[in-house]
Amino acid sequence: MHPSGSPLFRFDNSYARDLPGLYVPWKPAEVPSPRLLFLNAPLAEELGLDPAALRSDAGAAIFAGNTVPDGAEPLAQAYAGHQFGGFSPQLGDGRALLLGEVVDRQGQRRDIAFKGSGRTPFSRGGDGKAAVGPMLREVLIGEAMHALGIPTTRALAVASTGEPVVREKLLPGAVLARVAASHLRVGTFQFFAARGEQAKLRQLADYAIARHDPDLAGAPGRYLALLQRVAQRQAALVAQWMNVGFIHGVMNTDNMTISGETIDYGPCAFMEAYDPRAVFSSIDHQGRYAYGNQPLIARWNLARFAETLLPLVVEDEGEAAAERVVAEATAVIDAFPGLFEAALLRGQRAKLGLADAPGEEDAADAALANDWLVLLHANGVDFTLGWRRLADAAAGDERPLQALIADTPALQQWLARWRARCASEAPLAPEQRAQRMRGVNPWIIPRNHRVEEALAAASESDDLAPFERLLSALRDPYEEKPEHEPYAQPAPAAVTACYQTFCGT
Ligand code: AMP
Ligand code: MG
C-alpha cells in the first residue's frame, strides 16, 4: 500500500479472470538486493500510477519481484510458436509473468508484465532470468519506437536484482516491467490449436476480440474479421518499421502480437547504410529475418494465425462450408502484401514531403520512392541521414545531401523528378515542406554503437549516465539539437560491418 492508504496499482485482471486453464498462476522469484535502475515516469502517469511512490524502496521491491503488489495475480501465459520456421508446441512465459492489468487514463487496458522474474513451468532448460544490459535495451528501443510514433510495448521499470546471471560470462541480473496492450501473440493461438483444445481456442479468440476489436464481439464471421484486423495492424506496423530502418531480428510467431504492437527487443537493430539484405542477428544465418524480408515473414506468420482460426470458423459454419472458409482466409492472407504496400507508400509519401494522394499517383510515387532507395543503396548512404538531408534539399540546400551521395548525376536526375512531383501539388513554401519532412524523418534513431556503449557502461561499470543521455536523445528524435549531435552520426563503417546482435540474453 501507498502511505496514503491507496494501492499503488489499481489492477483489473481480465486474463486471470476470463481465461482459467490458459495460464499457470505463478510467483516471481525472490532476489537478494532490489534496486531501481529506471522508472518511466511519463508512462507511469499515463497508467494513472504515482511515479514518486514507485521510486521508493517499496517500488524497487515490487519491480524486482520481491513484493507482489495488492491486486496483482501473477501468472505465466502458455504459448507456442514457429521459431525460424520450425514449430515449438510449448514455449510460454519461461522467464516472464503477467503481473496484472490496469486501465489507463485513456480507458485502454494495459498489461504490466515482468521479464526476468525467475523460472516458471515453461522455463524448459532456462534459468528464467535476465541481465541488466538486455533489459535496458528494451527501455531504449521501446522508448525510441514510441517517440517515432510506432506501436510498441514499453518499459515501465527496470530493477537490478543484486544477483549475477550466468551467460557467456557472469552479468548483473535485472527484471523488466513491460507494458503492453496485451501479450496475446500468434503463438498463444498456436498453443491451443496444436493441442486441439478448441473450446479454449474459442475462449481465447473471443477474449482477443473483446480486448482489441470489441466492435466485432459476438458477430457472425468474427474470427475471419479478427484475422483481417490483425493483418491490417501488422501491415501498418511492419511498414512503419521499414520506414525507419528497423530490423526486428526474431519475427517468430510468438513474437508477433495480436494488438499490432512491436514486442521483444532482443536481437533487433536499426539499419545504417541502406541495404535490404541487412541482418544483424548472430543466429539468423539464412537471413530469414533480414530487413527486406520482414513483410514476407509477417505474411507467413499471418498464415499460421489463420490456420489456428479456421477450425473455429468451420465449427460455426459447418463442414460443408470448409472449402469456402479456407478460400476466404486465403484471400485475407493474399491481400496482405497490398495492405503493406499501401501503408509503406503512405509513409514514404510523407517522408518525401508529399501530401497523401491515394489512387492515381500510386505507381509513379512508389517508383519515385523505390528509386530513391536504389540511390541510397548504390551509394552506401545512411538510411536515416539520407532522408533527413532530403528535407534540407526541400528547404533549398542540397549540399548536405550531395555530401552523402557520391553519384551526382544520378542524384540530380532523381531530385529533378522529385521536384517535379512536389510541384504537381498545391504550392507549399520550401521551408514548410522541409518542416513537414523533418517531422516524419527522424534525425535520431537508436544507433547500434550508441546503444551498445550505453548498455556496456550500465552493465560493466554501473554507470547509467550514458544510458540516460541516450534515452533523452531518443525521446526527442525530430529536432536537431547540438547536444544530440553525437547520437545522430553513424558508426564507422568498419564497426557496423561486424556488428552482431544476440538472442535470448
Ligand atoms: P524470446 O526469444 O525472448 O522471444 O523467447 C523465446 C522463448 O524462450 C520464450 O518461451 C521464453 O520464455 C523462453 N526463454 C528465453 N530466455 C529464457 C530464460 N533465460 N529462461 C527461461 N526461458 C527463457
Ligand atoms: Mg518472445
Nearest CA to ligand 1 atom 22: 94
Ligand 1 pocket check for 264: Cβ under 6 Å: yes
In this predicted structure, the answer to whether residue 361 has a pLDDT above a threshold of 90 is no
| Contact residues for 490 (Cβ-Cβ < 8 A; gap 6+) | 272, 273, 382, 384, 385, 447, 496
276 CA to centre of ligand 2 in angstroms? 24
Question: pLDDT above 90 covers what percent of the chain?
Answer: 95
Ligand 1 pocket check for 266: Cβ under 6 Å: yes
Mean per-residue pLDDT for 328-342?
A: 98
Question: Which residue is it, cell 459476438?
Answer: 218
Closest ligand 1 atom number to CA of residue 252: 4
* Torsion angles phi and psi, residue 431, rounded to 5: -65, -30
Cα 108 to Cα 12, 54, 212, 369, distances in angstroms: 12, 21, 10, 36
pLDDT tens for 260-300 read 999 999 999 999 999 999 999 999 999 999 999 999 999 99
pTM: 0.97
Nearest CA to ligand 1 atom 11: 94
pLDDT for the residue numbered 76: 98
Closest ligand 1 atom number to CA of residue 266: 3
| Contact residues for 337 (Cβ-Cβ < 8 A; gap 6+) | 295, 299
pLDDT tens for 478-494 read 999 999 999 999 998 88
In this predicted structure, the answer to whether residue 504 has a pLDDT above a threshold of 60 is no
Q: What is the mean pLDDT of the chain?
A: 96
In this predicted structure, the answer to whether residue 375 has a pLDDT above a threshold of 90 is yes
* SS3 per-residue string spanning 110-142: EEEEEECECCCCCCCCCCCECEHHHHHHHHHHH
In this predicted structure, the answer to whether residue 3 has a pLDDT above a threshold of 60 is no
In this predicted structure, the answer to whether residue 1 has a pLDDT above a threshold of 70 is no
Nearest CA to ligand 1 atom 14: 94
Mean per-residue pLDDT for 20-43?
A: 98
Ligand 1 pocket check for 128: Cβ under 6 Å: yes
313 CA to centre of ligand 2 in angstroms? 28
Three-state DSSP at 288 gives coil
pLDDT for the residue numbered 6: 73
In this predicted structure, the answer to whether residue 5 has a pLDDT above a threshold of 90 is no
Mean per-residue pLDDT for 361-388?
A: 97
* Torsion angles phi and psi, residue 386, rounded to 5: -55, -50
79 CA to centre of ligand 1 in angstroms? 11
Confidence tier at 448 by pLDDT (50, 70, 90): very high
pLDDT for the residue numbered 501: 84
pLDDT tens for 69-110 read 999 999 999 999 999 999 999 999 999 999 999 999 999 999
Substitution candidate for ligand 1 out of 91, 141, 161 with most atoms within 8 A of CB: 91
pLDDT for the residue numbered 356: 81
What ligand is nearest to the CA atom of residue 97?
A: 1
Closest ligand 1 atom number to CA of residue 254: 4
- Tell how many helices (H) and how many strands (E) occur in the chain: 19, 11
Substitution candidate for ligand 1 out of 87, 95, 132 with most atoms within 8 A of CB: 95
Ligand 1 pocket check for 89: Cβ under 6 Å: no
Three-state DSSP at 177 gives strand
Short-list 354, 379, 384, CA closest to 368: 354
Nearest CA to ligand 1 atom 13: 94
137 CA to centre of ligand 2 in angstroms? 14
In this predicted structure, the answer to whether residue 252 has a pLDDT above a threshold of 60 is yes
Ligand 1 pocket check for 138: Cβ under 6 Å: no
Residue 283 in grid coordinates: 543466429
286 CA to centre of ligand 1 in angstroms? 21
Ligand 1 pocket check for 249: Cβ under 6 Å: no
Active site (catalytic) residues: 254
In this predicted structure, the answer to whether residue 244 has a pLDDT above a threshold of 60 is yes
Mean per-residue pLDDT for 448-470?
A: 98
Q: CA-CA distance, 145 to 427, in Å (whole number)?
A: 32
Mean per-residue pLDDT for 391-416?
A: 98
Nearest CA to ligand 1 atom 2: 504
**Which secondary-structure segment (H or E) carries 81?**
strand 81-83
pLDDT for the residue numbered 427: 92
Nearest CA to ligand 1 atom 3: 504
pLDDT tens for 135-176 read 999 999 999 999 999 999 999 999 999 999 999 999 999 999
pLDDT for the residue numbered 373: 98
